[in-house]
Structure 1
Amino acid sequence: MTKENSPLSVAPNSPVRRIAGNMGRLLSGKAAAGVISLGSIAIAARVLGVEQYGVLNLVHGFATLMGGTIAFSGFHGMVRYGAEALNRGAHSQFRNLVLLLALIELGMAAVAIALAMLLVPWVGASLGWSSEAIQFGGIYCLAIFATVRATPQGLLQLAERFDLIGLHPTIMPLIRLAGALAIYFTGGGLGAFLWVWLAAAIAEGVSMWVLCWIGTRHLAISADGRPTLKGTRRENPGIVRFIATTNLDLTLRDIAPKATPLIIGWMLGPAAAGLYALVQRASAILIQPAQMLGEAAYPVVTRLLISGDDKAAGRAVRRSAIFATITALVAAAIMSVFADRVLILLGGASFAGGASLLILVVLGRAMMAGMPTLSAALTAQGRPWVSARANLASNIGMLPLLPVIIWWLGLNGAGVHGILQSAVLVSLLIWSYYRSSLAPRTGM
């Protein structure tokens, strides 16, 4: 292997350095958000206890599941087709694209909220919610607005305003922490936390649009007239299939993690769901950097592919995926040593005894740390259906096994199921990647 091809040699303006710079800006905000989130979670868990904390997370989890399943993400379409339009200087076409994706995203969010409100009474009764939680559940469906932020995030990526994208994750945790502290000192229960969590979720969605307006107004400044939907499909050939497939991929990727706590609550009750929710939060530090790495890599790889530099794109993808996986495995090993202490530190004594579950969950998440980057690369190639097939097999195809494994192994079965899902997803995405044009022919 030559020095130029070494994984450790990075040119000053190389794609890997650009990805690292993007990720650094994202991580600064995410790290702050993670620290702030731990404060609100610790307060909520101690005030509510494991069972009521489980109800809080089941209500929130139902809303986010509905939002993630029905609502629309314009992120990948915005980055791919927006980059092509800006590359040609077609500013009017770019603005028309923004209008189309924004209207679809907002419209699908309204559908998701309406359907979620209709289902709340039945879902709440099935999952053991209190009467207070069921009554509030309809209002809490407005938390789906937290998921309505993909189009503006894509715009910020095109503008390379990763500083604003990095700022955004701190908004919801700050509101949660302020509300949790107020509840802690003034008194309050589940209802108060539901109001705080709802306000934070709505702020999460709205704030992304505000940041987008601040950071991207210059992108179409030379366009004349008002944006229109007329001819937008013709101007962006293949866009309907592309955005439909990328949305399916995102839905399939998220549905199992969001459905798992609800299945646990249905089978084992709110207390088990509360313990699993805290385990998920504790293990999130492993997967969030990996997701950000995929997010940071996507626009860079897309621009390289548009310019025809497949070799540089492939090299950037491989190095990023390997780095993410090694880092996550090291972090998982460290967290496993202190698993029981981590849970008690976060949630208090009522959450003791979940160490084995935390170890299983962090191992499963560490195994798939490199997958967001591979998935982003396949999508950037215009092949989102490849990633969608892998997520269909690992998430939807294996989801029916979850109740069986939980019945067999109890709550730890959820961790075992996560490891099996990760193994299937990793195998399929690596196999798909090495059949793509980005796969190495020699060396890295």
Structure 2
Amino acid sequence: MPADAYSAPDGLWRAPVAPGPLDARVRLPGSKSLTNRELVLSALATGPSRLVRPLAARDTDLMVAALRALGARIEPDGEDLVVEPGPLRGGTAVDVGLAGTLMRFLPPVAALADGAVRFDGDERARERPMATTIRALRDLGVPVDDDGRDALPFAVGGAGGVRGGAVRIDASASSQFVSGLLLAGARYDDGLVVEHRGQRLPSVPHVEMTLDVLRRRGVTVDAEVAGATGRWTVAPGAIAGRDVVIEPDLSNAAPFLAAALVAGGRVSVPDWPSTTTQVGDRLRDWLAAFGGEVALHGGSLAVEGPGVAHGPLHPVDLDLSEGGELAPTLVGLAAFADGTSTFHGIGHLRGHETDRLAALVAELGNVGVAAEETEDGIVVRGGSPAAGRPWRSHADHRMATTGALIGLAVPGVEVEDVASTAKTLPGFTELWARMLP
């Protein structure tokens, strides 16, 4: 069924109700997290790289445009991208959109350019935490002009190189602050030592992903992580060009796999890696906690469930400190549970594309489900969701997909700004419609 069949006259997207149990195989494009890390390293490498099956979405398109502006040559070859590194140049501007990977990964790269690089983005991007990156660069001797905002817009004064050394940061708001420094660290004259001291270290798997892609390119990096503290050492040296096959985005699989629990039936995602640094692999445990049957077989991950029409889901108590990006989907599932679900370790989501905790509480309330914020998470008192006011996306792709998930079992859910899903998953509505029987 074509996706535009669900377009309401006022521009809202009427989420389709599943007419029966699902039996779908959903093939997803490449991982945004891996694509953008590999693009950065390819632009800093000593030779050419080829990225096979990278994600083509707003966040990755913005990364390509930014790295071209900084001097890299990036050309499509079929579905692949071929990257030829070039001298990093300043006197340019970077549009980060609303992408945390751009606003946190590229300023340490821009410090290596031969002139100033100005950063700005969407209106909401100006509200996202950036003080950690700005202060870290200043501590490393890199001038940053932000007019005292500790936020976008700002300009990084590149001088053609960075001495490097040791820097202490508080990455409690996002692990991207750590990854951004590590990705550029090997190009600094003395390498880089990043020490994190803070209340927490969220999304540790994303830092492990960064370490893995660095090591695969010949960079020597050591890590010491204990609880909420961490210390990472990147040795100075060359970053090798390489051919990389990008894994499918396992986090984007979340609403599709979760759909089997809401609508009933079976949904599978092919090309699921047997080992991966992507946090989306934790869906195997977390969807099972709601009562789903989860199996990885023959390279496909499949989830089966009876559907909420045949009984509510199990309430859960989950620590999502390693997988905050999956929280909107899992919180959406909790709306259909037969009790109270509690999610911990996601206080940092207040600084994502939107304040995701406040947004989830508000939108669940709009469909008649009680929820409340805690200091580091959210509590959901499951019940029987019903259509109310439009489900607002808050310019957040994962909020939009959560509205679609609720709508599988709740007639009349209308999602505002479903186009926000193009940030990481272009064609979401078409994929969603094709999943239905």
TM-score interval for Structure 1 and Structure 2 normalised by the shorter chain:
under 0.3
Q: Of the two structures, which has the highest relative contact order with CA contacts closer than 8 Å and spacing of 6 or more?
A: 1
Could you say which structure has the higher strand fraction?
2
TM-score by length of 2: 0.26
Could you say which structure has the higher helix fraction?
1
